[in-house]
Amino acid sequence: MRISKIYFGIFLLGALLTGCKDEEEVLPTPDVTEEPEPSPNIAINNWIQSVMNEVYYWLDDMKSPIASDSDPAEYFESLLFRPTDRFSAIYPDYQELINSLNGVELEAGYEFILYRESNENDNVIAQLSYVKRNSPASEAGLRRGDIITLINGRQMDINNFRDVLADISQTHTISYLRYNEEANQYQPQPDLQLTPVQLSENPNFLDTVYTINDQKIGYVVYHFFAPGSGNNSTVYDDEMDETFSKFKAEGINHLIVDFRYNGGGFVSSAVNLASLIAPGVGADAVFSKTKFNSFLSRFEDFQNVQTKFRAKDENLGNTLSGNRVYILTTSRTASASELVINGLKPYMDVFLIGDRTTGKNVGSIPFEDDDNPNNSFGILPIVTQSFNSADQSDYTTGFVPNIAAREVEELPRQFGDINEQLLRKAIEQITGQSSSARIQSLDRIDLGSTLDHKVRTGTMVEKQDLMKNN
């Protein structure tokens, strides 16, 4: 009976409330506008700003940012101290950034320099600088010096070559010429179809020993600084050690290091190479000193930062005649290559042959956003300036060669050919005798190169964990 009364009470209360609601005046429904979702760019740009506020080398000169919901690439660019800062960069994918620094990219495996075909027309040609081992280009038989005239049947000219070159990122066909030395002319070759692959490029391109006029000369071509292909690999550094071990076993007394296309890379590999060359250095000798911005410099961990040489059994320094190393350079020799040149100078005679180098005495650290899974961007801001053990760092306009020579002035020969322009001049300097090779001079203008667009070009990358450990 108690339960029935409770149910009846609930029913009666509901009826009374309903009745009252029927008698109430019906109010119009308010116009509720939903708040728009905030732009995902805001979180990304806030992350960019927070990183730059801590690590950017030119912190005191950093510019005011644009709107926080702007495109992240534009936002990052708005902060930079241009034109002093020529090198800070942002990339849409952090992992692709790291892969590229380690030489892992989707490509067909050839690099080239663009030239205007003639002063009489606007055509542009692409002359191969080098072809990478185990690549589609290598398997197809392409070689240094070959000239690409058409890509997918399209002629490049000074107005369209950038659009035409976009085709090489996917399967493409090239028409090309090869120089016939006997006929003294370029001759057409059958067209080739090339498909890009995920290629892991080894920077240790070539090493050999020459015996000329009783002089033992070691020659090594090194295209970028990377310890390995990633995942803490040191296979490339280990290969360089093996090369110097071979040089030492063969008793070389002269060393030529070819940095002509070496635009930079990881500082750790620069230290490794320098430790194989400098005389009398060990783990206590200073290779370089590192300076940080005004904020980080307040903290003890970022004061008086020094990088020491490594003690290497394969070191050649004390065996080199005249305490000299010969380094071959172009205008694309940059960053970590220049770090090696500068770091060796207090210890030995660094003799440069080629063109004036790029002039980059500042270094970067790659950053990713660990807290935001929707932020794939990676940034590579300038974080440090490097000095050698003598506190020298004044090479922002590049190192001037002891002997000037420019690749554009001669017909290119294969790497390792003793009559190849830059190598020939180094050998002439060592032996004191001029080459009798027949030289074909050229008059042309360098319009750019595939190397100019590599992530590693112009980079001097400090340890990725440098900030996390301090």
Looking up residue 259, the CATH number of its domain turns out to be: 3.90.226.10
pLDDT at site 465 = 53
pLDDT at site 30 = 61
Kindly state whether residues 215 and 335 are assigned to the same domain. Answer: yes
Among 313, 318, 314, smallest CA distance to 278 is for 318
Q: Last residue of some domain: 152, 182, 198? A: 198
Establish if 371 belongs to a structural domain: no
Structural domain that includes position 173: 105-198
Span 33-43, pLDDT tens digits: 677 789 999 99
Q: Last residue of some domain: 144, 173, 198? A: 198
Cβ-contact 72, 41 below 8 angstroms: yes
Establish if 131 belongs to a structural domain: yes
Establish if 77 belongs to a structural domain: yes
Kindly state whether residues 132 and 97 are assigned to the same domain. Answer: no
End-to-end CA distance of the chain: 77
Tell me how far apart the alpha carbons of residues 62 and 310 are, in angstroms, rounded to a whole number. Answer: 36
pLDDT at site 118 = 85
Q: How many structural domains is the chain composed of?
A: 3
Residue 17 scores a pLDDT above 60: no
3-state secondary structure of 396: coil
Kindly state whether residues 160 and 269 are assigned to the same domain. Answer: no
Kindly state whether residues 190 and 206 are assigned to the same domain. Answer: no
pLDDT at site 16 = 33
| CATH number for the domain that contains residue 118 | 2.30.42.10
Establish if 9 belongs to a structural domain: no
What ranges make up the beta strands (E) of 267-366?
A: 286-291, 305-308, 324-329, 349-354, 362-364
pLDDT at site 453 = 85
Cβ-contact 205, 415 below 8 angstroms: yes
pLDDT at site 466 = 52
Percent of the chain with pLDDT over 90: 83
Question: Quick one: CA dihedral 20, 25, 29, 30, positive or negative?
Answer: negative
3-state secondary structure of 92: coil
Q: How many CB atoms lie within 10 A of CB 123?
A: 15
Span 262-313, pLDDT tens digits: 999 999 999 999 999 999 999 999 999 999 999 999 999 999 999 999 999 9
pLDDT grade for 458, boundaries at 50, 70 and 90: confident
pLDDT at site 115 = 95
Kindly state whether residues 274 and 414 are assigned to the same domain. Answer: yes
Q: Last residue of some domain: 173, 198, 223? A: 198
Average pLDDT over residues 195-200: 97
Beta pairing partners, 255: 218
Average pLDDT over residues 147-159: 96
Kindly state whether residues 262 and 338 are assigned to the same domain. Answer: yes
pLDDT at site 25 = 54
Kindly state whether residues 152 and 181 are assigned to the same domain. Answer: yes
**What values do phi and psi take at 158, rounded to 5?**
-65, -15
Kindly state whether residues 405 and 322 are assigned to the same domain. Answer: yes
Average pLDDT over residues 435-440: 81
Span 327-373, pLDDT tens digits: 999 999 999 999 999 999 999 999 999 999 999 999 999 999 999 99
For residue 87 the two structure tokens come to 């090198």
Mean pLDDT of the chain: 91
Which of 180-184, 192-196, 434-438, 463-467 is most confident?
A: 192-196
pTM for the predicted model, two decimal places: 0.89
Establish if 8 belongs to a structural domain: no
**What values do phi and psi take at 238, rounded to 5?**
-65, -40
Kindly state whether residues 343 and 245 are assigned to the same domain. Answer: yes
3-state secondary structure of 112: strand
Among 328, 293, 298, 341, smallest CA distance to 420 is for 328
pLDDT at site 11 = 35
Establish if 348 belongs to a structural domain: yes
3-state secondary structure of 241: helix
Cis peptide leading into residue 65 (ω within 30°): no
Q: Which residues of 167-188 are buried (b: 16+ CB within 10 A; e: fewer)?
A: ebeeebebbbbebeeeeeebee
Cβ-contact 195, 169 below 8 angstroms: no
**What values do phi and psi take at 423, rounded to 5?**
-65, -40
| Residues across the chain | 470
**Counting runs of H as helices and runs of E as strands, what totals does the chain give?**
10, 24
Kindly state whether residues 217 and 292 are assigned to the same domain. Answer: yes
Kindly state whether residues 180 and 230 are assigned to the same domain. Answer: no
pLDDT grade for 9, boundaries at 50, 70 and 90: very low
Tell me how far apart the alpha carbons of residues 89 and 97 are, in angstroms, rounded to a whole number. Answer: 10
Span 58-71, pLDDT tens digits: 999 999 999 999 99
Span 201-217, pLDDT tens digits: 999 999 999 999 999 99
Average pLDDT over residues 254-261: 98
Contacts by 433-440, CB closer than 8 A, 24 or more apart: 433/213, 439/410, 440/184, 440/410, 440/411
Percent of the chain with pLDDT over 70: 91
Span 174-190, pLDDT tens digits: 999 999 989 999 999 99
Kindly state whether residues 251 and 293 are assigned to the same domain. Answer: yes
Residue 391 scores a pLDDT above 80: yes
Tell me how far apart the alpha carbons of residues 370 and 155 are, in angstroms, rounded to a whole number. Answer: 45
Local structure of residue 217 (DSSP, 8 states): E
Local structure of residue 134 (DSSP, 8 states): T
Which DSSP string corresponds to 397-421? T-PPPSEE--GGGB----TT-TTSH
For residue 238 the two structure tokens come to 């280990």
Establish if 439 belongs to a structural domain: yes
Establish if 14 belongs to a structural domain: no
pLDDT at site 467 = 54
Average pLDDT over residues 48-62: 98
Cβ-contact 195, 171 below 8 angstroms: yes
pLDDT at site 95 = 94
